[in-house]
């Protein structure tokens, strides 16, 4: 057969995906698997969104403009303004999920061989976009002992080269749950202005903050018209990952003209998803209050449970719905697979995301796992109990 | 500001898009513009699809598997089997529109500098995908005098080099409306086997054939398990372009494993679109019969009207809903812009797609336009009348 492309060989398969066949095999053996490994919330989509879908009465499902419908972009602009982010519909291009927003952004700013600095651990999927454009990820390590706070700005600055195009971070962070402060983001802003590089802020978890910290956007910072770019998505905000609606938000006209060309190449973002996302803008504050309350409760249960397991170290999260934990095992890739292949208690086991996929150098994550608290509180308690028993048994068997 | 990427400068803006500001300006002046330039059908989406959307009763809009839902892929496999295409759900990966299907396919098979042979004129958007992967389009000219039939297979063969990875064609063809015969596709198959290259068949207009010709798929040909790839989409089939649901279909396991990695990078195709597309599989034959009848009527009205304009040459279409016509004007880019800027009759004008964007060498299309017959018959008659008057006036003013 004809040879496939080099890119095809390079496209990363994450350590989590490699575990999926083992999870499926466990299920075939009748084992119940608690999924602490995925970012698919179980929270219902707001009723106003579901009701709007049931009221859909267009005669045809037509293409929209490549940048998204005028009315949705107007509505989104009002949403951002409400959050103190001063943008208009012209500063927004609607994308097919946050993934595409990042794809178009990286494609617009970076040549092959260019560098993007990312505090690690970072969202494993970032590797796909940089692979596609042959961009080099330059990691800056954050540490579990600091709950994964922003590393000192000097650590960033010494990595900046003539090929550095941007600093990319997610805030609140997937996978660490860390929420960057105004001061931390202010330091990145100064770097961006001094070295003329972009700041790409993945703010898809904006609403998911527990406690008094306020979300601080890159576009809250002054003078970020040229250098600041928000990557956003409705996926987590309204528990509608399947809508596949995101956005690139920036006041940089030249950048946005480039993003639009990428957007035109795929014609139109999903029409039904945009329709649902526009309805989602009317979601009452009470929905968020309940959801945030629920996640806060889950977080606290998870932390309490993990703290009771000897040898576990926790990166305490303030946002999103993940935390990174260090486990007292030799290797979390091996342990995660063992959980699915060789462990069960009363016919149940648990699936976690080994952290190797969240680090540029997989070895750095070899003792850590990411745990998503997207299960209800009873399942979460049971999952932590399973984890506790599993760690003990795993270390005895060795 | 930081420099944008080279790719950003290279992403093509089609000649049609360049006209959009002039169309908008005309509308602002109160002029009614008949759009013969676009592929957005006015035909309603099947009622069974709209009804299914109104019945949506999932509690949340979740991610699906990256390859699409099991039930939709099973349903699609049955659809293909009904059309004599022997595939199973495992041979199908659901994509975000036909655009993404082509993107993942080209990304999987071609390195920068590799070549894909395409009979021209071809769908202008193909240029975006090849630009993204720095692949070279090698055109083979088809001629209006032959109604854009497949050029002699020798013309393909003499262009095959060690860097040739595939032959790509759309069938029925956008922009020409030509329907490739079993014999023509058989010749391409022989080339593929002899030279070990892929055949990528864009079959999104499969159902849109007028008269007795039967659609012949690349996967109807024997021994195409390794080399045959279908790129497909529900956009035109069910008049639901905005669903953004397409598919890559191939029995080549290695290729499909690669496409899946690209699919995993964007997590999930749109859930609501898949839901609507699954419902669309139950569309009764009567819907297609009516739609095909309507397009056939439109095609015949369009051809009759164009034949009555002195100096117009037509590439007679047998499928899709486009035709290419040669107009007696000096330059169709200039003429198309003039139609929007300087012409009107009783407050109305018409917009056509200059053919320069459908050729690798734009000069080859400088006398041709693509006309989409996606307007109702009354509007179509009026559009042709406007075109007739405009050609006359344009040539007098010169």
B293 and B276 co-located in one domain: no
Q: What is the pLDDT of residues B85-101, one digit of tens each?
A: 999 999 999 999 999 99
Residue among B13, B14, B240 whose CB faces A60 most closely: B240
The answer to whether residue A163 is domain-embedded is: yes
Nearest to A7 among B12, B60, B107 (CB): B107
Same domain, B295 and B166: no
Among B248, B280, B312, identify where a domain stops.
Answer: B280
pLDDT tens, N- to C-terminus, chain A (398 residues): 899 999 999 998 777 788 999 999 999 999 999 999 987 788 999 999 999 999 999 999 999 999 999 999 999 999 999 999 999 999 999 999 999 999 999 999 999 999 999 999 999 989 888 899 999 999 999 999 999 999 999 999 999 999 999 999 999 999 999 999 999 999 999 999 999 999 999 999 999 999 888 999 999 999 999 999 999 999 999 999 999 999 999 999 999 999 999 999 999 999 999 999 999 999 999 999 999 999 999 999 999 999 999 999 999 999 999 999 999 999 999 999 999 999 999 999 999 999 999 999 999 999 999 999 999 999 999 999 999 999 999 999 87
Q: How far apart are CA B352 and CA B375, in angstroms?
A: 13
- Confidence class of residue B16 from pLDDT cuts 50, 70 and 90? confident
Asked if the Cβ–Cβ distance from B266 to A196 is below 8 Å, we say no
Q: Is B273 on the interface with A (CB under 8 A)?
A: yes
Q: Does A223 touch chain B (CB under 8 A)?
A: no
Tell me whether residue B53 is in a domain.
Answer: no
Report the alpha-carbon distance of residue A291 to residue A239 in Å, rounded: 10
Query: Which is it for strands B164-170 and B198-202: parallel, antiparallel or unpaired?
Result: parallel
One domain, residues B203 and B335: no
Q: Give A53-109 as a 3 state SS string.
A: HHCCCCCCCCCCCCCCCHHHHHHHHHHHHHCCCCCCHHHEEEECHHHHHHHHHHHHH
Domain end, chosen from B280, B307, B336, is at B280
Same domain membership, residue A305 and residue A193: no
pLDDT over 90 (residue B115): yes
CB contact, 8 Å: B365 with chain A? Answer: no
% of chain B residues with pLDDT over 70: 100
pLDDT of B15 reads 72
The reply to whether residue A8 touches residue B265, judged by beta carbons under 8 angstroms, is no
Asked whether residue B259 falls in the same domain as residue B148, the answer is yes
Chain A nearest-CA distance from B315, in A, is 26
Question: Residues 2 to 61 of B: which have CB under 8 A from any A CB?
Answer: 2, 4-8, 11-14, 17, 40-45, 49-50, 53-61
CA distance B98 to B105: 11
- What the block records as the tokens of A276 is 């649902």
Bond from prior residue into A77 cis (ω within 30 degrees of 0): no
Looking at the domain assignment, is residue B192 inside a domain?
yes
Measure the CA–CA gap between B135 and A270, rounded to whole angstroms. 27
Q: What is the CATH number of the domain that holds B75?
A: 3.40.640.10
- Give the pLDDT of residue A213: 87
Which domain range does residue B346 map to? 6-44+286-397
Whether residues A270 and B244 touch (CB distance < 8 A) is answered with: yes
CA pseudo-torsion sign A280, A286, A287, A289: positive
Is A92 a member of any domain? yes
CA distances from A194 to A136, A187, A198 (A): 21, 11, 11
The string of DSSP letters for B383-398 reads HHHHHHHHHHHHHHH-
> How far is B392 from chain A, CA to nearest CA, in Å?
34
- Chain B residues with CB under 8 Å of A133 CB are 5, 7
User: What's the CATH code of the domain at A336?
Assistant: 3.90.1150.10
Query: Which of these three, B255, B280, B305, is where a domain ends?
Result: B280
A337 domain residue, yes or no: yes
Which positions ≥6 away from A151 have C-beta within 8 Å? A119, A140, A141, A142, A143
Give the chain B residue nearest A257 (alpha carbons): B8
Instruction: Give domain status of residue A77, yes or no.
Output: yes
Interchain CB distance below 8 Å, B196 and A45:
no
Looking at the fold, whether B34 and B93 belong to one and the same domain comes out as no
Domain contains A222: yes
Contact B63 A241 (CB under 8 A): yes
Q: Give chain B's mean pLDDT.
A: 96
Question: What pLDDT digit, counting tens, does each position of B156-189 carry?
Answer: 999 999 999 999 999 999 999 999 999 999 999 9
Residue B212: per-residue pLDDT? 87
What is the number of structural domains in chain B?
2
Closest C-alpha among A219, A273, A322 to residue A100: A273
B261 and B307, same domain (yes or no): no
Confidence (pLDDT) at B194: 97
CA–CA gap between residue B199 and residue B222 (Å, rounded): 13
CA dist B298 and B304 (Å) reads 10
Domain contains A13: yes
Pairwise CA distance, residues A56 & A69, whole Å:
16
**Cα torsion A87, A89, A91, A94: sign:** positive
| Close Cβ partners of B304 (under 8 Å, ≥ 6 residues apart) | none
Specify the DSSP class assigned to residue B356. Answer: G
Q: Is the CB of residue A162 less than 8 Å away from at least one CB of chain B?
A: no
HSE-up (13 A, CA, CB side) for residue B49: 29
Which segments of B146-293 are extended strands (E)? 164-170, 198-202, 228-233, 246-249
CB contact under 8 A, B239 and A60: yes
DSSP-assigned beta bridge partners for residue B202: B170, B231
The answer to whether residues B244 and B339 belong to one domain is no
- B20 and B139 together in one domain: no
Report which of A176, A386, A207 is spatially closest to residue A293, judged by C-alpha positions: A207
Q: What is residue A17's predicted lDDT score, i.e. its pLDDT?
A: 82
Q: Is A284 on the interface with B (CB under 8 A)?
A: no
B70 touches chain A (CB under 8 A): no
* Over residues B243-248, mean pLDDT: 98
Instruction: Specify whether A294 is located in the same domain as A263.
Output: no
Residue B193 forms contact with A (CB below 8 Å): no
Judge contact between B73 and B89, C-beta under 8 A. Answer: yes
Two tokens, residue B199: 């055949």
Q: Do A96 and B262 touch (CB under 8 A)?
A: no
Alpha-helical (H) ranges within A315-376 are: 332-341
* Among candidates A45, A97, A252 on the partner chain, residue whose Cβ is nearest the Cβ of B267: A97
Report the alpha-carbon distance of residue B54 to residue A54 in Å, rounded: 4
Is the pLDDT at B379 greater than 80, yes or no?
Answer: yes
Q: Is the pLDDT of residue B17 over 90?
A: no
According to DSSP, residue B202 is labeled E
Half-sphere exposure of B103 (CA within 13 A, CB side): 22
Q: Edge to edge, what strands does the sheet with A228-233 contain?
A: A92-95, A246-249, A228-233, A198-202, A164-170, A115-120, A136-141
Whether residue A193 sits in one domain with residue A172: yes
User: Quick check: B100 contacting A, CB < 8 Å?
Assistant: yes
Size of interface A-B (CB pairs under 8 A): 234
Q: Span B11-27, mean pLDDT?
A: 87
Residue A326 has which token pair?
A: 């260090």
Tell whether A375 is within 8 A of chain B (Cβ): no
Q: Looking at the structure, tell me whether residues B206 and B342 fall in a common domain.
A: no
Q: Chain B contact for A237, CB < 8 A?
A: no
Q: Is A63's CB within 8 Å of B241's CB?
A: yes
């Amino acid at each position: 057969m004809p040879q496939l492309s080099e890119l095809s060989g390079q496209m990363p398969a994450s350590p989590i995906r490699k575990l999926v066949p083992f999870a499926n095999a466990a299920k075939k053996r009748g084992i119940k698997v608690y999924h602490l490994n995925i970012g698919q919330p179980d929270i219902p989509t707001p009723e106003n969104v579901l009701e709007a879908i049931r009221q859909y009465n267009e005669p045809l499902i037509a293409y929209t403009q490549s940048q998204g419908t005028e009315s949705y972009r107007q509505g989104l602009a009002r949403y951002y303004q409400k959050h103190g982010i001063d943008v208009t519909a012209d500063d927004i291009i609607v994308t097919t999920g946050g993934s595409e927003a990042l794809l178009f952004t990286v494609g617009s700013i970076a040549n092959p061989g260019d560098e993007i600095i990312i505090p690690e651990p970072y969202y494993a999927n970032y590797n796909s976009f940089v692979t596609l454009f042959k961009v080099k990820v330059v990691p800056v390590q954050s540490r579990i002992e600091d709950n994964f706070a922003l590393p000192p700005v000097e650590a960033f600055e010494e990595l900046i080269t003539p090929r550095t195009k941007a600093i990319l971070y997610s805030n609140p962070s997937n996978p660490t749950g860390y929420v960057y402060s105004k001061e931390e983001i202010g330091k990145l802003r100064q770097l961006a202005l001094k070295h003329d590089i972009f700041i790409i802020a993945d703010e898809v978890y904006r609403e998911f903050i527990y406690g008094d910290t306020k979300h601080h956007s890159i576009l809250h910072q002054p003078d970020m018209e040229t250098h600041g770019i928000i990557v956003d998505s409705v996926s987590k905000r309204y528990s509608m990952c399947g809508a596949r609606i995101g956005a690139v938000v920036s006041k940089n006209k030249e950048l946005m003209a480039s993003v639009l060309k990428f957007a035109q190449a795929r014609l139109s973002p999903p029409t039904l998803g945009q329709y649902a996302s526009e309805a989602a803008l009317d979601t009452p504050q009470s929905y968020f209050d309940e959801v945030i309350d629920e996640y806060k409760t889950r977080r606290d249960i998870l932390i309490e449970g993990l703290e009771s397991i000897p040898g576990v170290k926790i990166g305490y999260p303030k946002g999103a719905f993940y935390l990174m934990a260090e486990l007292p095992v030799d290797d979390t890739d091996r342990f995660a697979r063992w959980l699915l292949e060789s462990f069960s208690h009363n016919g149940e086991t648990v699936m976690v995301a080994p952290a190797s996929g969240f680090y540029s150098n997989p070895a750095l994550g070899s003792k850590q796992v990411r745990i998503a608290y997207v299960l209800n509180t009873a399942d979460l308690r049971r999952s932590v109990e399973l984890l506790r028993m599993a760690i003990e048994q795993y270390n005895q068997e060795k």
